[in-house]
Amino acid sequence: MTNREWKTFWLAKASDEVERINLSQALSWFHYAIVNKFLTENPGNPKAIAVERVLAFVAAQQNDVRRPIILFYEKVARSDKHLAALTARPAIRPAAPHPATIANQEPRETETASILKKLDLELKARNYSRRTVENYRAISYNYLTWLKKPPSASDAGAIKQYQLHLKEKKNYAPRTVNLATAAIIFLYNSVLEIPVAPTSLPRMKTGRPLPLVYSQQDIEKIILGAKNHKHRLMLTLAYACGLRLSELRFLKPEHIDLERNIVWIRHGKGAKDRGVMLDQAIKPEVLAFLKSGKGKTFLFEGYEPGHSLTPTTISKIYQHACENAGIEPLGGIHTLRHSFATHLLEHGTDLRYIQELLGHASSKTTEIYTHVSSTAISRIRSPIAHLNLGIGK
């Protein structure tokens, strides 16, 4: 995995653990910003990070961050080696900084923590998804750290500089920079109550690449490439119902309506519910899996009962199935959703129904599949067909 994928994976696990054991008292210890900073400065698998580097990170911070890092290795990464080092001996502190540095840093860190707390409250009051909360929180923390001063009404120029910083220094994709811009605008307008007009900040051109899709023959090979019955059913439902990864991950047994032949997607993207068809072709497989009792809280659980599979695990299941089928992946597991929509269109399904099945808020989002339908394109004759070139004679 890339460093960014490692970071996303472990932050997601941390959030899952906080919610699972309801760490209301530990939220102050398990400060998201601290863990985010730790994983940013120490990329890769946290279990493979040298103990000395972990201790050096703890020692280098002005505030005591030992407790959240201990909690991270105790509850999430679960590394006895790192846990022992963190609890057995104190980290060696570097030379004391100049008093003026401490005076400047500590109030700013306190102010940043206060702003992030307000941001959390505002996002949750609006019922934003957990993923949006995590993204906005991380973006806001990184921006405020970069800004190095209290936010003010004259920061439009600074925000533009930060956009360039993300693009040129961090090599972020235009879409990611635009997401960061939206989060920062929300921070100023809705949390800090400092007016920042969205029109005053540029949006980077992203283009609109067409989604890649598999042929139906390749879909068949990929599904059969999953040797485990549970894994095969996961890929089957991802394609047969056009599910997003998160929707597949949090699917529950009670969401399967066997009488009406519907799979209910609860709290999908945008916190919207929708129903998709449970086709008769796969209903026996789903029924057999439900009767096996393997999934209790979630339909597809990991080794620990009651825990959904992680995004990384689901992605690996898909990648291994592609490898077993001898097919080069065209993208992540979301490609099965793209293929679902394109194949429906090629079989004559009305675009409005496809929009509902995919849960798209706008028909414009769904219309992109009209550009990748090979059946429609192949039926169009080129004007060269009307020329008498003597080809083939």
Is-contact 98 62, C-beta < 8 A?
no
Phi, psi of 150 (to 5 degrees): -65, 140
Residue 381 designated active-site: no
Candidate list 75, 244, 255, 294, residue with the active-site label? 244
Half-sphere exposure of 236 (CA within 13 A, CB side): 21
Residue 393 designated active-site: no
Candidate list 13, 137, 337, 338, residue with the active-site label? 337
Per-residue b or e along 46-60, where b marks 16 or more CB atoms closer than 10 Å to that residue's CB: beebeeeebbebbee
Q: How far is CA 392 from the centre of its chain?
A: 53
Residue 369 designated active-site: yes
Candidate list 269, 307, 316, 320, residue with the active-site label? 269
Q: How far is CA 391 from CA 16, 248, 280, 352, 388, in A?
A: 64, 51, 48, 42, 8
Q: Which string of DSSP letters, residue by residue, matches 92-155? A: PP-PPPPHHHHHHHHHHHHHHHHHHHHHHHHHHHTT--HHHHHHHHHHHHHHHHHH-S---TT-
Which of 254, 253, 275, 272 minimizes the C-alpha distance to 264? 275
Angle at the Cα of 163 (from 35 to 65), degrees rounded to 5?
15
Residue 269 designated active-site: yes
- The DSSP secondary-structure symbol of 308 reads B
Token pair 């169009």 in the structure block, residue: 380
Half-sphere exposure of 64 (CA within 13 A, CB side): 6
Q: Which string of DSSP letters, residue by residue, matches 178-218? A: HHHHHHHHHIIIIIS-----GGGS-------PPPP---HHH
- In this structure, the number of other CB atoms found within 10 A of the CB of residue 213 comes to 24
Helix (H) or strand (E) holding 277, with range, is strand 274-277
Residue 267 designated active-site: no
Per-residue b or e along 157-185, where b marks 16 or more CB atoms closer than 10 Å to that residue's CB: ebbeebbebbbeeeebeeebbbbbbbbbb
Residue 371 designated active-site: no
> Catalytic site residues?
244, 269, 334, 337, 360, 369
